[in-house]
Amino acid sequence: NRQFRLAARPVGLPKATDWQLTEETAAPPKDGEARVRVLYLSLDPAMRGWMNEGKSYIRPVAIGEVMRAGGVGVVEASNSPHVAVGDYLAGMFGVQQYWTAPVDAKAAAAMKIDPALAPLPAWLNVLGMPGMTAYFGLTDIGQPKAGETVVVSAAAGAVGMTVGQVAKQLGCRVVGIAGGPDKCRYVVEELGFDGCIDYKAGSVAAGLKEHCPQGVDVYFDNVGGDILDAVLARINLKARIIICGAISQYNNTAPVRGPANYLALLVNRARMEGMVVFDYAARYPEAVQRLGAWLQAGSVKSREHVVDGFEHFPDALTMLFEGKNFGKLVLKVADA
């Protein structure tokens, strides 16, 4: 069982020496436990935060500990009455090839997934944590109404693609912000967004003026920084801003910069609200059912960027912070 453990707390972008690759024999499952062979791992921007010391919504990964990661895998041995050999599970398996742990009736540690509903990687995307984030962040915090204008950043990424597609299903006008012509073309032509602003090609402020002539009612913020400021300058009365993430700030070595334009919230009686997907765990089945139905109908698409090979974990993770992933970034660990 090969494992990537955290060797050092990174300064700036994580580097090879922040990781230690170790190997041990995969443990046989004890009473109540199952052993899962990990097939795909989810690589997430949040991992960067988990590597830092300090208080957050979840405890930091300790030095020497197997890196935390979500994944999907297949049960290989089971002493749990709740799962059988051959079942597919999604859970927080960590960056390792095998996961052995108790699986209880509530499936708190790992939930059964149905590969007939969608391919395994999609269970880390639209039907997984990013999809849950998009669905609950948009509907619960954003509360979009038909006809309103929704803007989403990192629009071609895992969370962003589902935010935009769900907003379209709800009858909104949707404008993405993404890096590069290919990603922008994709969200408009393949995913049905109404427009997309290439923040690497020109001014976001000018793009918002052009694509959001009626202003912005909901902004789903994945990036923070200058893009957040540009959107704040265009918000409407009673606008809702979902603080989902701020990837432009995660590798800062200086303190995170807050929005300079925050008085736009005052002027427009608007609000910004943070959300953490784990708070919605009890309601995941509701979102899986709705998103799954859209996926099967073809009205919502799931795109994954698969990097093949467990050993590529350290390099693959940094792709997120350089915009090198096109779709949800997934590491393939083994063949199904």
Chain residues that interact with ligand NDP, rule: CB under 6 A: 44-46, 129-130, 133, 154, 156-160, 178-180, 183, 222-223, 244-248, 275-277, 320-321, 323, 325, 328-329
Cα of first residue to Cα of last residue in the chain, in angstroms, is: 17
Minimum distance from CB of 201 to ligand NDP (Å)?
A: 11
Q: What tokens were used for 330?
A: 């997934």
Task: Tell me how far apart the alpha carbons of residues 151 and 230 are, in angstroms, rounded to a whole number.
Answer: 11
- Cα 289 to Cα 56, 131, 220, 228, distances in angstroms: 30, 12, 22, 32
Supply the Cα-derived Rg of the chain in whole angstroms.
20
Minimum distance from CB of 200 to ligand NDP (Å)?
A: 7
Query: Toward ligand NDP, which CB reaches closer, 46 or 331?
Result: 46
Query: Toward ligand NDP, which CB reaches closer, 22 or 318?
Result: 318
60: Cβ contacts below 8 Å, ≥ 6 apart: 50, 51, 52, 53, 54
Helices (H), ranges, the chain: 46-50, 129-136, 158-169, 181-185, 204-211, 225-232, 263-267, 284-297, 313-319
Query: Toward ligand NDP, which CB reaches closer, 75 or 127?
Result: 127
Query: Toward ligand NDP, which CB reaches closer, 223 or 232?
Result: 223
Minimum distance from CB of 277 to ligand NDP (Å)?
A: 4
Query: Toward ligand NDP, which CB reaches closer, 34 or 242?
Result: 242
Give the number of other CB atoms < 10 A from CB of residue 327. Answer: 19
Minimum distance from CB of 279 to ligand NDP (Å)?
A: 8
Query: Toward ligand NDP, which CB reaches closer, 133 or 165?
Result: 133
Minimum distance from CB of 266 to ligand NDP (Å)?
A: 25
Minimum distance from CB of 222 to ligand NDP (Å)?
A: 4
Minimum distance from CB of 19 to ligand NDP (Å)?
A: 20
Please tell me what DSSP assigns to residue 66: B
Residues paired with residue 102 on neighbouring β-strands, in sequence order: 33
Cβ atoms of 89 and 73 within 8 Å: the answer is: yes
Minimum distance from CB of 29 to ligand NDP (Å)?
A: 30
Please tell me what DSSP assigns to residue 312: G
Task: Tell me how far apart the alpha carbons of residues 167 and 219 are, in angstroms, rounded to a whole number.
Answer: 11
Cβ atoms of 229 and 208 within 8 Å: the answer is: no
Query: Toward ligand NDP, which CB reaches closer, 264 or 317?
Result: 317
Query: Toward ligand NDP, which CB reaches closer, 80 or 133?
Result: 133
261: Cβ contacts below 8 Å, ≥ 6 apart: 228, 229, 232, 233
